Amino acid sequence: MFFDITVLVVIGAVIAFILAFAIGANDTANSFGTSVGSKVLTLHQAYVLASIFETLGACLLGHQVTDTMRKGVVDINSFGFVDGNYTMSNETKDQNLMLGQIAVLTGCGAWMLLATAFKLPVSTTHSIVGATIGFALVAQGPELIFWKQIYRIFASWIVSPLLSGIMSVVIYSSLDHLVLRREQPLHSGMRVLPFLYFLCFSFNVFAIVYKGPEFLMMNNLSLVHCLIISTTFGLAVAVVFALFLAPYLKDHILSKEILEITGKQRHGHHNESSSPKQKELEMEEGNGKFIELKTKNEQQKALLDQPTIVVSTCPTNGDSISSFTNPKNTIRPASSLASFFRSCKPEDPQASRLFSLLQVMTACFGGFAHGGNDVSNAIAPLVSLVLYWRDKSLLSETSTPWYILLYGSIGMCLGLWVLGHRVIYTVGENLTKITPASGFSVEFGAAVTVLIASKLGLPISSTQCKVGSVVAVGLIQSKHEVHWGVFRNISLSWIVTLPVAGLLSAGTMMLLQSLYA
């Protein structure tokens, strides 16, 4: 070899870090894009939370998917054999395999940086698989590729956005009927929230401990033990929320509502009269009468009982109807399948605020899932280089070292802070309008899909999961607005990702082979 193994490992480490940087700038934006789009988090708050949970997810969950990417796409055992005959020396075989890792990293990294420059949210899973195929075709030919595994990945690209979209639709429809369409959405939401916290935290903890990392001894836990641990943790969080956080959250929402109404009335009174005397807050009841609210508790009670103007766009003639005829927040019963999934009633502002804290938690959940699944895209080829340098074998059964997982997560976090804003707004704002309730449904549905795939060792596309959820929930919201032009551009970027990454990797492999001939 022109370079020794150590030099190749160093070059691979540098290129892997650049690839991780590109993934952070492009794909990591999916985890917190909806939270920024719904205005629940600022951009810098999203950066901080994403850095924490992406790193935790990479270190705790990333080892299993990384092993699948490293050992499942290319048949290393057949490398060097043609028609059952060994055609190259061990030194040549090792040289080509190590050069192949460099080619995969280079091809994938070049495409990801180019896509980020054009603000295209592409799939890094597509990129790494396409780059691996490109290297294998140049190195030996199609017989080197596990086509059955590739077909499985192809199927996951189609199934993952559908499953994620269905999951998010089920979650949002449940919230719509249990909370948003109820007579008193805030009261209904306060009753449902403890169960949601129990569900989210239980599933998250189960995903960590079931077949968890060996260095934490979690791989020795049985299924029953994992269920007990996750259920106990979820119940504890639900009880803490119901007893301590729920009263504070309710008071915070109502106090903010009172301040907004008071500010508007003071502004109106100031325009109407120059008198310094401030009138007490007046609230209109369904029967047209006025009451004076003298205490904060009375103000909060009136806010809970007051009717909300319901603007319906469901009539066939397209007219909008505003009505105070009902004494509470109500909506006509669903008379068709479309009206069952798509509500005519806009989200209640109080209930919408109720889901803000929950969306932040699910955003962290999504970041954790993304770190567990997509760290493999950056470091899988580097793992092969390091293990060959350490063990002199690319067929090592050793688990992925934790320090390489941490190295990849640092690169992703750096890319997020530097260029993450370029893709965040595409996912969070340009596809459809995101609210805290719909954002929670999108994030939790996509995160559940990604985490299940991560535990099964299936490298699905988190980009497609998130986009599929955003589009699906956008279709069943009251305004059901989806910007199909943006979705078309994203879909086109998915189509060209695999062949472009494969061509870049193949070109790099041909160049390296010519240099090492």
CB atoms within 10 A of CB 141: 10
Give the residue among 149, 57, 24 at the shortest CA–CA distance from 455.
57
Say how many Å lie between the first and final Cα of the chain, rounded. Answer: 9
CA-CA distances (angstroms) from residue 66 to 302, 376, 446?
55, 4, 20
Provide CB contacts within 8 A for 403, sequence distance 6+: none
How far is 461 from 475, CA to CA, in rounded Å? Answer: 22
Given this model, what pLDDT does residue 238 score?
Answer: 92
- 291, containing H or E segment: strand 290-292
Q: In the numeric block, which tokens belong to residue 472?
A: 């699906």
Q: Which residues is 21 bridged to in the sheet?
A: none
Given this model, what pLDDT does residue 32 score?
Answer: 82
Give the residue among 225, 197, 193, 195 at the shortest CA–CA distance from 209.
225
- 94, containing H or E segment: helix 90-117
Residue entry with tokens 């030194």: 91
- Answer left, alpha or beta for residue 368, where phi above 0 means left and psi between -120 and 50 means alpha: alpha
How far is 179 from 168, CA to CA, in rounded Å? Answer: 16
CA-CA distances (angstroms) from residue 78 to 8, 32, 395?
23, 42, 11
**pLDDT tens by residue, the chain, 517 residues:** 445 677 888 888 898 899 889 888 887 777 788 888 888 888 899 899 988 988 888 877 766 655 544 546 777 666 666 655 666 666 777 777 788 888 888 998 899 888 888 887 888 777 888 888 888 888 888 887 887 777 777 777 778 788 889 999 999 888 888 888 787 888 888 888 899 989 988 987 887 787 776 666 777 888 899 999 999 999 999 999 888 888 888 777 777 666 656 655 555 555 544 444 344 434 444 444 444 444 545 555 554 544 444 444 454 444 443 333 344 444 444 456 666 666 666 667 777 778 888 888 878 877 776 776 667 767 777 877 787 777 766 555 556 777 888 888 889 889 999 988 888 888 777 788 888 888 888 888 887 887 777 666 666 777 788 888 888 888 887 666 788 888 888 888 888 888 899 999 999 999 888 877 6
Given this model, what pLDDT does residue 490 score?
Answer: 84
How far is 11 from 33, CA to CA, in rounded Å? Answer: 33
Give the residue among 316, 317, 318 at the shortest CA–CA distance from 336.
316
CA-CA distances (angstroms) from residue 161 to 3, 21, 362, 467?
43, 25, 18, 7
Given this model, what pLDDT does residue 500 score?
Answer: 92
Q: Which residues is 283 bridged to in the sheet?
A: 291
Given this model, what pLDDT does residue 308 score?
Answer: 44
Q: In the numeric block, which tokens belong to residue 115?
A: 């896509």
Provide CB contacts within 8 A for 113, sequence distance 6+: 18, 22
The HSE-up count of residue 254 (CA atoms within 13 Å, CB side) is 22
Given this model, what pLDDT does residue 280 score?
Answer: 40
CA-CA distances (angstroms) from residue 435 to 60, 61, 428, 479, 485?
31, 30, 10, 12, 21
Given this model, what pLDDT does residue 135 score?
Answer: 86
Global pTM? 0.74
Given this model, what pLDDT does residue 254 score?
Answer: 72
Give the residue among 48, 28, 24 at the shortest CA–CA distance from 113.
24
How far is 131 from 104, CA to CA, in rounded Å? Answer: 5
Residue entry with tokens 């004076």: 292
Give the residue among 504, 375, 422, 396 at the shortest CA–CA distance from 16.
375
Given this model, what pLDDT does residue 266 score?
Answer: 56
CB 365 within 8 A of CB 200: yes
Q: In the numeric block, which tokens belong to residue 269?
A: 């009174």
Q: In the numeric block, which tokens belong to residue 506?
A: 């193949």
How far is 505 from 110, CA to CA, in rounded Å? Answer: 9
User: What is the amino acid identity at position 475?
Assistant: L
Provide CB contacts within 8 A for 128, sequence distance 6+: 69, 104, 108, 376, 377, 380, 501
Given this model, what pLDDT does residue 506 score?
Answer: 93
